[in-house]
Chains A and B, each alone.
Chain A
Amino acid sequence: MKKNSSVVVDLLLLLLAITVLATPAFSDLVLSKVERRIDVTSQIARVTKTLKVVNSGSESVSEFTLTFPKFLSNNLAYLSVSHSEGKGKAKRSLANLSVKEAHPKGMPDLISFYSVSLPKPLSKGDTLTLEVVAAFTNVLQPFPEKITQRDIHLVMLQESAQYLSPYVVESQSLSIKLPNARIESYTKLENSKVQGSEIKYGPYKNLAQYSYAPIVVHFESKAAFAVAERLVREIEVSHWGNVQVTEHYNLVHRGAQLKGEFSRLEYQDRPNPQGVSAFRHLLARLPPRAHSIYYRDDIGNISTSQMQSDSKKTELLIEPRFPLFGGWKTFFTIGYGLPLSDFLFASEGKRFLDISFGSPMIDLVTEKLIVQVVLPEGSKDISVTTPFAVKQSHEIKYSHLDIAGRPVVVLEKNNVVPDHNQKIQVYYKFSNINLLSEPLMLITGFFVLFIPCIIYTRADFSISKSSAAYLAKLQWDEVLATLQEVQNIIQKCLAAHDKLEASLRDLSRTGDIQTCKAARKSTDSLLKDLSKELRPLLASLQSFPSASQISPKVEELVAKERELQEKLMAKHTTVVEGYEKKSSGRDIENRIASQQQKIIALRQEVDDLLEFIDEI
């Protein structure tokens, strides 16, 4: 009630001011026809005006003045003026005109003035049609201010039936579009009538300057009065191909407040799911190809949301954890990724991000919108262009693997309506080399991690270099190294044996004695060389006291290997001789059978010994 009474006082003061106004018009412009349409089907009052301006004076005029009562202009969220040419269907809108707030002298405070600069001066007798679109928030006052769960939601709109203008108006009409036909009351004037869910006032002819006829319309509204008290949109650009948008909503229902108790029983029994005094859903229209969408709040994921997407748009229907009644609040976060190629473009050596400014929610009023555009680390020469005035500042944000931090452009604007959902452009310079910095950092990190490991395993960190234990360890390492070498040589010998055997097999197949002999010769020399190499190793092994346990085994191994060598040679000789004498295969086989058995036994022993040494 308080709010309402104050508005009434405002109205009275306004009327008083208007009657006092005696100054003549700004210029000799005359509005030959004014059509106003007010759409209050949502919580935003959207006023569209078509003004036909005629210059009846003698001088050409380049400025046009728009006026609003102060109590309305305080809630003015959006104003745009465009002029159109032609008539009827051929009418086309041209570019928006620039609008500035003006403070002419000697005018009462209760009226706000906006001056519109015309595209070209209007000379005498010329006409011009202006299209004005204005969106007001908070002008639909819930009345009564508190209702119970069962009551219907009524709101009140205050306007003027006559167009408030510093110019003479020859003919004007007003139509108010309401959400439904349920009208509680409205101010009845002459020429006012109700048509379904529309109230019409006028036409009124030949009105003087600053004519004003207050009207009040009281009607039912089922619209969601969802207001974001604060909305933070964080747009993070990653040159790896993603634009991540995160939006934090502080949402409140600004309709009539809930009085008394909330009954779940009644709420769930009512057939109409769209609660009259509460709303359950919000619809967000995201850009097409939005992906990885999430919806959560401080305490976790919210599972009540639905998504539909096609090639043109992605629609996200989100349901807060609880239905929002008048005065109830909630906070949540939605986030989604967008493909970089849809939003990032290049021009004149700069890159620019072209992305919409406002919230994707439908019919949402945002009291304070903060848009943070986070650019990649290393971006330079940042500039922003916006279609309307916003407050700008810069910040630094630290994210994963950042050193210098990412530059953030912060844009702030109060009282934002869906009409502000226009594209903004953020220009910046960024070199692709910077892309590599983070992977390189990771690589360096792992490198730095492994370097100490490598050093630790390779380097000798013992404090006392002369202690017995340390020396013993050193010696043992040497023993192991020698053993390794011995093993290698034995392995080589065994490989040579295998070669010898292979040559025998070849002989049996081809009968080529000469190659076989050649193979024998080469193997012979190889084995001799190897045994030469083996000698100093054995000697050094014996000199180590710590190898006293091992050296007999090694010696045994070497001895066995030599024996094996001899047996093999003997066998080889026998076979080759057999072939030279052209004796039968069976005969040769019989002759070497005993040798063969010994060879196998010896080979087994050598293998066992090798395995034993291997396990040391």
Chain B
Amino acid sequence: MAAKKASPDLVNSSFSFKSLKLKTKQQELLLRVSILGLVYVLAFIARLFSVLRYESMIHEFDPYFNYRTTLFLTEKGFYEFWNWFDSESWYPLGRIIGGTLYPGLMVTAALIYWTLRFLRFFVHIREVCVLTAPFFASNTTLVAYFFGKEIWDTGAGLVAAALIAICPGYISRSVAGSYDNEAVAIFALLLTFYLFVKAVKTGSLSWALGSAFGYFYMVSAWGGYVFIINLVPLYVLVLLITGRYSMRLYVAYNCMYILGMLLAMQIRFVGFQHVQSGEHMAAMGVFLLMQVFYFLDWVKHQLNDTKLFQTFLRITVTSAILVGGIALGVGTASGYISPWTGRFYSLLDPTYAKDHIPIIASVSEHQPTAWSSFMFDYHILLFLFPAGLYFCFKRLSDATIFIVMYGLTSLYFAGVMVRLILVATPAVCLISAIAVSATVKNLTSLLRTKQKVPQTGSTKGVGSSKSSSKVTLDQSQPFHKNGAIALLVGVFYLLSRYAIHCTWVTSEAYSSPSIVLAARGAHGNRIIFDDYREAYYWLRQNTPTDAKVMSWWDYGYQITAMGNRTVIVDNNTWNNTHIATVGRAMSSYEDEAYDIMRSLDVNYVLVVFGGVTGYSSDDINKFLWMVRIGGGVYPVIKEPDYLVNGEFRVDKGASPKMLNCLMYKLCYYRFGELVTEYGKPTGYDRARGVEIGNKDIKLEHLEEAYTTSNWIVRIYRVKPPTNRL
């Protein structure tokens, strides 16, 4: 009887469950929103490794400048910030901060900060700065979703969002604390592209306007906006050539270009470059070409005579190109249009910087990319990218043409410069997402159709309660289903490997603040070298407030931000001569250097030295660049003087000039008396693995003021001149 009663109950319950069941559409929406929400959170928390491993702090070099300016902005307000003349850097020249930076990042962080304060959350501006990058990375995933939806479908959008959320190429620049322009710029870049593609697709003015504002935000945030202003016209040109010219394109491009240009001119650092610099001329050229196209279209419509039109076309195109060419030539010759900058050249010709601008070549992130770092940053995306391209070409539309062009150009730039991997990352993620989504969709549809067709079950009898519905397989394609399952498993295996790889890379490689160094001790314990902050804090507390500190430019931003002291040169590198002067001082003999330092009012000299800890990116290893940059301006400094048979050495075989130059002396002062490693002679340099060549260093015009506990930073005081009486 119990069983008898139970069965109608069961029917009832299944009935009520059915009525509660969401509709397929609602289910899909719920799934989509929850996946997006999870991806949003994931993108944020994956970037918090650095806070967990170290602390909530600003990383690297440039972020310290951004942090300092943000602090200034929140304390003094926007107008003070806009008109800020900073006398603490580039002594004695100073720097007009308001006119030489991209304010987007600082204004964004300040706005977040003010909003939070308005909502009565009294957070510290440092926390806002630290978390700005993860926050914008999360927002980027949303944009990636919409972009993916626009160029393919929602599935591809979701996959793109998930891929970009943890892609190491993007994480490397957006971990918590990496408070750099790129943090918001990638968001702005992708947003601009998305809105532009949307505008081209719909031909709507409002989307084009949105895209112009996105472009404005991008210009305010990062110098990489040049990529947009060249890629978009290139894309338009390709559409024109392939005969995809339409009114939609005309509206989208003209609105975006004109408004974007006008808005961008409001940024003081960019100013009139849109009409004056060679890098921006392509956009203008395409803009004019669009007008010619439109005009021709109109004439064609009026004439109704193909022959006449052909002649007209020939004359118009020739004269248009001629006028454009002459204008460009005259502009360049008269100096109205500035030629391409060195950085731009070095993008087109990877060897250019090495020969002509050592200051660009000396930065490690400007080096050409190695294959291993592609693999490291993209992992499976590197293989999915071509597959995605295949799908894009298979279903060619305005949108897919855009993503293909974005992918190919940015990948080229990523190959030229390591740091530009970042720009290529969204494109690679989107195209790979298309590959993943399309493949998975094809495979699952194969599985689904199979299950549906043979629903021909037979009840054995009235008595048998279970109507066993046998699924008879379609015998014509016996291996399809198994093959599809195997492929799906393979795809999910690859994706899970990707997730594991990304997590590992994030936690191990990209979460180090590079201010605090960590190493493993002999017993596997974690040793922290906090020497940088030790030295900067010493400067802040125990030197006169107007002291001028000379160091290589790498440490300039950190000294001004953390040490709060005036520096001679910093990471802005706007004045090559000034940097060369410092390079010259570092590579001269002490008495010559003393004259240079006196002329620059230097009170303290700071060098970074890794000989005790084995820290390899120290000033001795950077020294050849100082020589090269110094020698580039002052021919008295010659690189061969510091080399022995073309080899850079610091041991006994080093050249005499090397052994007695200021940098050598400051790094190795009293190092000759120290035993660094058991079983090695005194003065054994662990970073280079040699015993130093000059152990008896006497300083005449400088004295040791402070050396950090692991000798990584050494600060010297410049003595006042001796009394001549």
Contacts and interface: CB of A to CB of B under 8 A. Distances in A.
Interface residues of A, number: 53
A321 B705 contact: no
A401 B11 contact: no
B462 A265 contact: no
B326 to A, nearest CB: 51
B120 interface: yes
Interface stretch (A153-161, A461-469, A501-509): A501-509
Interface stretch (B250-258, B285-293, B528-536): B528-536
Given A328-B541, A600-B457, A575 B674 contact: no
B536 A262 contact: no
Nearest to A615: B24
Given A328-B541, A330-B541, A509-B4, A321 B533 contact: yes
Contact of B538 (A321, A498, A499): A321
Interface string A390-401: 000000001111
Interface string B441-460: 00000000000000111110
Interface stretch (B15-23, B225-233, B384-392, B406-414): B15-23
Given A264-B711, A329-B541, A502 B120 contact: no
B15 A505 contact: no
A329 B542 contact: yes
Contacts of B705: 261-262
B542 A508 contact: no
A549 interface: no
Interface in B556-595: 562
B459 A596 contact: yes
B120 A403 contact: yes
A502 B542 contact: no
Nearest to A601: B456
B701 to A, nearest CB: 13
Interface stretch (A71-79, A178-186, A295-303, A526-534): A295-303
A59 interface: no
Interface residues on B, range: 35 or more
A324 to B, nearest CB: 9
* SS of B interface (majority): mixed
A260 interface: yes
A398 B465 CA distance: 71
B461 A299 contact: no
Nearest to B8: A502
B580 to A, nearest CB: 30
Interface string B11-40: 100010011000111000000000000000
B121 interface: yes
Nearest to B126: A300
B707 A264 contact: yes
Contacts of B717: 261
A398 B122 contact: yes
Given A398-B122, A400-B121, A592-B462, A265 B670 contact: yes
Nearest to B4: A506
Contacts of B641: none
B696 interface: no
Given A301-B57, A592-B462, A596-B459, A502 B704 contact: no
Residue from A263, A585, A614 having most chain B Cβ neighbours under 10 A:
A263
Given A263-B704, A299-B562, A321-B537, A502 B7 contact: yes
A604 interface: yes
B455 A588 contact: no
Nearest to B18: A491
A447 interface: no
B29 to A, nearest CB: 13
Contacts of B534: 321-322
B121 A401 contact: yes
A589 B709 CA distance: 94
A597 B23 CA distance: 29
A402 interface: yes
B518 to A, nearest CB: 10
Given A299-B537, A510-B4, A505 B542 contact: no
A495 interface: yes
Contact of B704 (A262, A510, A592): A262
Given A600-B458, A614-B23, 5 more contacts: A261-B703, A263-B670, A586-B461, A600-B456, A615-B24
26 contacts: A262-B704, A264-B708, A300-B533, A302-B530, A303-B528, A322-B538, A329-B541, A330-B537, A400-B120, A400-B122, A488-B19, A491-B19, A498-B15, A499-B11, A502-B11, A504-B462, A509-B463, A589-B462, A592-B462, A600-B456, A600-B457, A600-B458, A600-B459, A604-B455, A614-B25, A615-B25
7 closest A-B pairs by CB? A264-B707, A261-B703, A261-B704, A301-B55, A321-B534, A299-B562, A300-B57
